[in-house]
Amino acid sequence: MIVRRVGKGPRVVWIHGLGESSVSFEPVIARMPDYTHVLVDLPGYGRSPWPAQVPTLAQLADQLATWLEAEPPAPLVGHSMGGVLATLVAERAQVRAVIDVDGNLSPGDCTFSAEASSYSEDAFCAHGFAELRIGVYEDGVASAELRTYFAALSLASPIAFYRHARELVELSEGGTLAPRLAALRAPTLFVAGVPEGICAASRALLDQHGIRWVGIEPAGHWVYVDQPQRFANELTQFISET
């Protein structure tokens, strides 16, 4: 795991999504200059080496929780898979707050993870990952978030992507992610891109379980790329309350 720090002030820890890297958060951290942004590249993604043994999401959460306990509690911001990891970490360690950004809650939120899971592991590593990347490129010609996602995928380990995708699908199908998020001891905010972020069923789950959430629109899954200033404003306000 590679960690970099940007800025000066109270810490905010950022965890990226499936296939992503910490670079994806650059548009929003530039609008939050009064914080130290602690940016993680998970094993197999971004600047981090490709691991010989891919850690499960639970193992990643264990590693992150142990690492976080070395310093005072900080807000934890996780996007997509990073939002799921933020929940798992907050179950294991004391954090100041959890901000889940369009993280998986139900099967309707599984887009690239479901596509990867439709392959066998061998087929995905042999040709499926390349096909997924080509699809992202073709869909993202006019899309800032998909152009940056395509670039991030060029650094990602195919087998790490595949195994984490399978776990995300299983967790989303299990129906436990929303109640686990609701049960956290830390103050929690879910930020959803509307209308093209998490699915309507997941937004209903947020209400059903009494989870505080805000929808930023118009925005998609990378809400902090689509609406960086509004996203920064929401985070800054929430963090100031915790």
HEC per residue, the chain = CEEEEECCCCEEEEECCCCCCHHHHHHHHCCCCCCEEEEEECCCCCCCCCCCCCCCHHHHHHHHHHHHCCCCCCEEEEECHHHHHHHHHHHHCCCCEEEEECCCCCHHHCCHHHHHHCCCHHHHHHHHHHHHHHHHHHHCCCCHHHHHHHHHHCCCCHHHHHHHHHHHHHHHHHCCHHHHHHCCCCCEEEEEEEEECCCHHHHHHHHHCCCCEEEEEEEECCHHHHCHHHHHHHHHHHHHHC
- Structure tokens that stand for 204 in this block: 């209903």
DSSP 120: -
| Mean pLDDT computed over 143-164 | 93
Per-residue pLDDT band at 142 (split at 50, 70, 90): low
Q: How far apart are CA 74 and CA 64, in angstroms?
A: 12
pLDDT in tens, 83-94: 999 999 999 999
| pLDDT confidence of residue 31 | 96
Distance from first CA to last CA of the chain, Å, rounded? 28
User: How does pLDDT run across 118-136, given as a tens digit for each residue?
Assistant: 999 999 999 999 999 999 9
Report pLDDT for 196.
92
With a CB cutoff of 8 Å and minimum separation 6, the contacts of 233 are none
Q: Is the pLDDT of residue 153 over 90?
A: yes
Domains, the chain: 2-105+177-241 (3.40.50.1820)
Q: Which of 84, 89, 90, 142 is nearest to 113 (CA)?
A: 84
> What is the average pLDDT across 224-239?
96
Confidence of residue 140 (pLDDT cuts 50, 70, 90): low
User: What is the value of pTM for the model shown?
Assistant: 0.96
CA distance 155 to 143: 20
Distance between CA atoms of 146 and 114, rounded to whole angstroms?
17
**Do residues 86 and 177 lie in contact, with contact meaning Cβ atoms separated by under 8 Å?**
no
pLDDT, the chain, mean: 96
